[in-house]
Amino acid sequence: MSATPAATPDTPVDTDCIFCKIAAGELDVPLVYEDDYVVAFDDISPQAPVHTLIIPKQHVVNLTDKPDPELLGHIFGAVHEVARRKGIDESGYRIVQNNGVDAGQTVFHLHVHVLGGRELMVGMA
């Protein structure tokens, strides 16, 4: 069990972070899903017919930041609902989550990619 308090909608943001701005509603980005802890929106450069990102409202860089497991539960708990809203819950979907430079992380605010809408390439890396 982590000693870190659970994330709330009032948790800190990084004012230079593009995903914090999206989570705060400062940019005109249509949301696929929102609850008290996370928002989901379509990737600006989709790599599949469905490519949606789920992010915490709290600024967390990646898993190396050791986010509260409860927060991770909220992120992963949103995956199926996002897939359902995008119409890929029955056909199948993949989630990808990059941590750090070698993984190809380019936006340093924790996010999960939800990919689907066609048969995806076999292989992970």
Catalytic residues, which ones? 111
Which of 48, 50, 51, 59 touches Zn ion by CB under 5 A? Answer: 59
Considering beta carbons, is residue 31 or 77 the nearer one to ligand 5GP? 31
Per CB under 6 A, does 33 bind ligand 5GP? no
| Residue 11 interacts with ligand 5GP (CB under 6 A): yes or no | no
Among 43, 65, 70, 81, binds ligand 5GP (CB under 6 A): 43
Per rule CB under 6 A, is residue 44 in the interface with ligand 5GP? yes
Q: Does 105 bind ligand 5GP (CB under 6 A)?
A: yes
Q: Does 101 bind ligand 5GP (CB under 6 A)?
A: no
The Cα 63–Cα 45 span in angstroms is 23
**Position 30 contacts ligand 5GP (CB under 6 A):** no
Cα distances (Å, whole numbers) of residue 99 to 45, 77, 105: 19, 20, 6
Asked if 69 and 63 touch (Cβ cutoff 8 Å), the reply is no
Please name which of 95, 67, 96, 68 lies closest in space to residue 80, comparing C-alpha atoms.
Answer: 95
CA distance 36 to 119: 32
Q: Under a CB-based contact definition with an 8 Å cutoff, are residues 40 and 52 in contact?
A: yes
- The size of the interface with ligand 5GP (CB under 6 A), counted in residues, is 12
